[in-house]
Chains A and B, each alone.
Chain A
Amino acid sequence: MARHSVLGAVLVGALALAGCGGAKVGDTSSGATGDCGTFNLAINPWVGYEANAAVLAYVAEKELKCKVTKKELKEEVAWQGFGTGEVDAVVENWGHDDLRKKYIDEQKTAVSAGSTGVKGQIGWYVPPWLAKEHPDILDWNNLNKYADQFKTSESGDKGQLLDGDPSFVTNDEALVKNLNLNYKVVYGGSETALIQAFRQAEKDKKWVIGYFYSPQWLLNEIKLEKVKLPEYKAGCDADAEKIACDYPDYDLDKLVSKKFADANGPAYQLVKNFKWTNEDQNTVAKYIAEDKMKPEDAAKKWADANADKVKAWLPKA
């Protein structure tokens, strides 16, 4: 009997609790409606990309009333998604000629949607303290002079050139060989490894030289200096084994699935019109990476301050 009354008390108590209320599920209703439909936006894993995507998603949701589905994917997987219909747009692409050939020319599932206006640079960088104390290091001709300083446990008796983000093409092994540099390419293997190396190098005044790129959020925090390599001329990188020149400048562009482009809906128009500058992207990237804002908040902050730019992207009615 006692047990039953315990049980009863529990139930009564619980029901009383239930009765005492609180807001009920479904009391407030919201939901976007519009003719935009669903917009599948790939999110590649770096902050600059995230900045582009956040602003686009924010505008698409707020101005065009799209339902934006963000999909976090590596580049190649995202491009595959064009064909399977799971991805509508990739909004910052670094070259990737192999993927272009495969998906635009051969499978015909992707089409270009123009430049983002952001210029990308790849190259060899050193921390600012090093560039200040030894300004001549910024010319590749002097690199051999300093090779000893760059020795690490991984590079043996040569200087270490830290490479590393496996997502991008690197010509560094060929460059080292063809420029007769007394360096060994060491594969850090991730952007994290590169950033950590540069951060420590600047903080503890350590000797580090490595592969890096701009725009990148770290450059807001540490102004890495680019080492001058022999100038890039069209075609100097034609034969991968004989490359002895700098990386080309990249015009970072946007890609969309063929279906998405053919449908020519408001979201496609937005993607196509979207164009801004390195400075704009750096601002949003800084909000996300350093001020730790959520991407959507960062996008809102930027969009509110740049209403005229946003307006220019909207489809002309």
Chain B
Amino acid sequence: MVAVAAPRQLPRKPLIFAGIVLAWLVLWLVFRNVGTLALGAADLTPLHRWVNDVNDAVGASRNSNPVFLYFFNEIRLVIDEFVTFIQALIAQPSFGRPVPVIGWLGVVAIAGFVSLAVAGWRVALLAVAGFVFLGLQGLWQESMDTLSLTLAAVVISLLIGIPLGIWAGLSDRAHRILTPVLDFMQTMPTFVYLAPLTLFFLIGPASATIATLIYAAPPAIRITAHAIRTVPRTTVEASESLGATQKQTLVKVLLPSARKTIVLGINQTIMAALSMVTIAALIDAPGLGKTVVKALQTLDVGTAFNAGLAIVVLAIVLDRVTTAAASERRTLPRWALFGGLGVTGVCVYLSYTYLWAAEFQSDVEIGSAIRKGATAVTEWAQDSLPVITDGFKDFVTIVLINPLQALLAESPWFLVALVIVALSFMIGGVRPAIVSAVCIAALIATGLWQDSMITLASTLVATILVMLLGIVVGVWMGRSRRADRFIRPILDAAQVMPAFVYLVPFLALFSASRFTAIIAAVVFAAPVAIKIIADGIRAVSPATVEASTALGSSSWQTIVKVQLPMARGALTLAANQGLIYVLSMVVVGGLVGAGALGYDVVAGFSQGQLYGKGLAAGVAIVVLGVMLDRLTQAAAKRWTN
């Protein structure tokens, strides 16, 4: 039906789109700067004040409220104990000893052995090299603190996440309820709940762990649910027809078939947890994040980069181990198993007993070389590049950012609302139109309509840049294994290197501006888009590509006519994920001149009287995220069918 109807509709659609945009432009000229619902930086709405009052009331009742005494305190105690225990094992002096129970040699041995058991020789070597590298950087203890906190957050995330994921995988209703909650958890900026968390769970490991797991648990839940849902119906039916109970089906059929995908969920959870390291440091989370934050007080890029690199190394090791564990199941030969166990045991014993194996001390130290190198590179870039980068910034600002922002933020709110709802209807029909209308109402309710529009403009520009990069680099990687092998680690690094590290040189190159914020978002979001597109291009059947080449198509023709159209599923997914990742950098953008919602959140975290406004800004970011997500999904459905 659709296929028959489509050709008749197609030529009309672009016309209507163009008509809507044209009408918008004309009305913009007429109504410019009317009804923009602007709110000054220090101004508050009654809603913002009310949130402040609630926040104060909660804080004041902390010591008398039974919910605190018997609920939050208990949770805090358990999590605190758990984290402190892991820290005692590998990171902090404990049990009356001046060093942790297991010293560096023991940790390296355990890391190597576990990797060997689940991921094979190569990965084990990588793990050992990676961990020793941390020590050589002069950051052993900090790294182990970070690892402890990450492990604790990941374990708790999985304890909660996998059962919830299974539930959402089995029940449509649970899935419907959980999805918006997870959206909320993943897009609500951490800055918004960081300060209240310390009210509920005090300053210490518990708050840091909980901040981390709010962000890190959703991938585990989503991917587990997805894994359960994609087990072929026939397999489940076969099991049921053989008389298996629900429980048996779950344990014997669903979980084993979904295992690989679930491990990928664990992988995503670990990465998400590591990306929270620097932000958690703002509430005294121990580890590498503190080093980064502290170094930045004096703009010491070298030290910050060294610590950031340690986070990257940890991330790459953990990523490769879990990815390899997901891709195939392996069993070690007996001798290797027992030999490995033996060696590990000896190493652990040595590191328990002897100082040289407990504390990482080495004559070879590469930390200061890395620091100096990073500082030199930064200084060179800051001295010689601004001539070019400044012009580039001004160009993009004038050509892209300013016009789009003028259109969105200087139109009356009802005009923008009308246009968005109309476009949503054109793209996806009634349902997306309703979703957009509700989201717009919510944005207005936050009192931050104009700020939301300014942020939306920057978000759209960033997403366009992300997609351009994604297509260019993604196609390149998808077509060349060699390029893939070379580029992928760089992408991994860009994703987990704390943004704070590269913000300093970016500020020098592009000044404090919206463009700097956009570039920071692109650095973070492009890797995801690139990876998705590369995988999509590679998944296009080689036979099709060969056929195209055989017919005399040039590389360019093959890419444009065959590979990209066939990978459009990946393209839409990349756009969707790109948008979400860009939105998650809005707050970081607020630190470098983006203003609008990002700045509102940052200021709300820093100043008590702006707390309510910061929270409202956080909600506005979530709402923007939900709206754009649903719209891109609707568009994707349309386009791929």
Contact = CB atoms under 8 A, between A and B. Distances in A.
Given A83-B63, A188-B593, A195-B299, A23 B350 contact: no
Contact of A45 (B297, B338, B350, B382): B297
A223 interface: no
A81 to B, nearest CB: 5
B293 A45 contact: yes
Contact of B203 (A4, A77, A195): A77
Contacts of A36: none
B469 interface: no
Contacts of A27: 355
Contacts of A232: none
B283 A77 contact: yes
A46 B605 CA distance: 16
B319 interface: no
B354 A50 contact: no
A170 B356 CA distance: 53
Nearest to B508: A196
Given A25-B97, A45-B297, A18 B591 contact: no
B296 interface: yes
Contacts of B199: 80, 84
Interface in A78-102: 80-81, 83-84, 86-87, 98-99, 102
B339 A99 contact: no
A10 interface: yes
Interface in B497-551: 503-504, 507-508, 511-515
Interface in A1-31: 3-4, 6-7, 10-11, 14-15, 17-18, 21-30
A169 interface: yes
B41 interface: yes
B73 to A, nearest CB: 11
A45 B346 CA distance: 43
A197 B507 contact: yes
B347 interface: yes
Most B CB contacts (10 A, CB to CB) among A22, A77, A80, A186 go to: A77
B346 A18 contact: yes
Contact of B346 (A15, A77, A190, A292): A15
Interface stretch (A66-74, A112-120, A249-257, A274-282): A66-74
Contacts of B98: 25-26, 28-30
Interface string A263-296: 0000000000000000000000000111010000
Contacts of A164: 512
B99 to A, nearest CB: 6
B637 interface: no
B202 A84 contact: yes
B346 A192 contact: no
Given A47-B298, A153-B398, A196-B299, A106 B608 contact: no
Nearest to A46: B297
Interface in B193-222: 194-195, 198-199, 202-204
Most A CB contacts (10 A, CB to CB) among B203, B350, B358, B503 go to: B203
B512 A102 contact: no
B330 interface: no
A98 B609 contact: yes
B293 A23 contact: no
B312 to A, nearest CB: 21
A49 B3 CA distance: 68
A262 B603 CA distance: 34
A47 B203 contact: no
Q: How large is the interface on B (under 10, 10 to 19, 20 to 34, 35 or more residues)?
A: 35 or more
A288 B340 CA distance: 46
A174 B503 CA distance: 29
Interface stretch (B125-133, B437-445, B594-602): B594-602
A47 to B, nearest CB: 6
B40 interface: yes
Given A22-B355, A167-B606, A186-B595, A240 B42 contact: yes
Nearest to B601: A166
Nearest to A172: B41
B62 A7 contact: no
Contacts of A98: 607-609
A107 B59 CA distance: 9
A204 B386 contact: yes
Contacts of A214: none
A220 B40 CA distance: 34
Nearest to A240: B42
B229 interface: no
A48 to B, nearest CB: 10
A173 interface: yes
A173 B40 contact: yes
A126 to B, nearest CB: 16
A167 B354 contact: no
A228 B393 CA distance: 32
Nearest to A165: B606
A18 B605 CA distance: 52
Nearest to A108: B60
B62 A193 contact: no
A3 B335 contact: yes
B394 A153 contact: yes
A193 B241 CA distance: 65
A81 B394 CA distance: 45
Given A83-B63, A154-B513, A167-B606, A11 B335 contact: no
Contact of B606 (A25, A166, A185, A195): A166
Interface string A34-54: 000000000001110010000
B587 to A, nearest CB: 9
A7 B338 CA distance: 8
B60 A106 contact: yes
A102 B202 contact: no
A76 interface: yes
Contacts of A77: 194-195, 198, 203, 282-283
B593 A187 contact: yes
A103 to B, nearest CB: 9
A83 B507 contact: no
B354 A25 contact: yes
A10 B352 contact: no
Given A76-B607, A77-B203, A102-B608, A11 B346 contact: yes
Nearest to B355: A23
B342 A71 contact: no
B553 to A, nearest CB: 43
A192 B343 contact: no
Contact of A73 (B203, B342, B355, B394): B203
B82 interface: no
Interface string B558-584: 000000000000000000000000000
Interface in A117-162: 152-154, 162
A217 interface: yes
Contacts of B40: 173
A306 interface: no
Contacts of B284: 71-73
A7 B512 CA distance: 61
B591 A189 contact: yes
Nearest to A47: B297
A25 B355 contact: yes
Interface in B33-56: 40-42, 56
8 contacts: A18-B354, A22-B354, A76-B606, A84-B62, A86-B204, A196-B507, A199-B508, A289-B297
Interface of B: 40-42, 56, 59-60, 62-63, 97-99, 194-195, 198-199, 202-204, 281-284, 290, 293-294, 296-300, 335, 338-339, 342-343, 346-347, 349-350, 352-358, 382, 386, 393-394, 397-398, 503-504, 507-508, 511-515, 590-595, 598-599, 602-603, 605-609
10 closest A-B pairs (Cβ-Cβ)? Answer: A188-B512, A14-B346, A3-B335, A166-B603, A196-B507, A193-B512, A153-B397, A289-B298, A190-B591, A23-B355
Given A166-B599, A192-B591, 19 more contacts: A14-B347, A18-B353, A25-B354, A25-B358, A74-B282, A77-B282, A87-B203, A102-B59, A153-B394, A153-B398, A154-B511, A154-B593, A166-B602, A166-B607, A187-B590, A193-B507, A200-B386, A200-B511, A204-B386
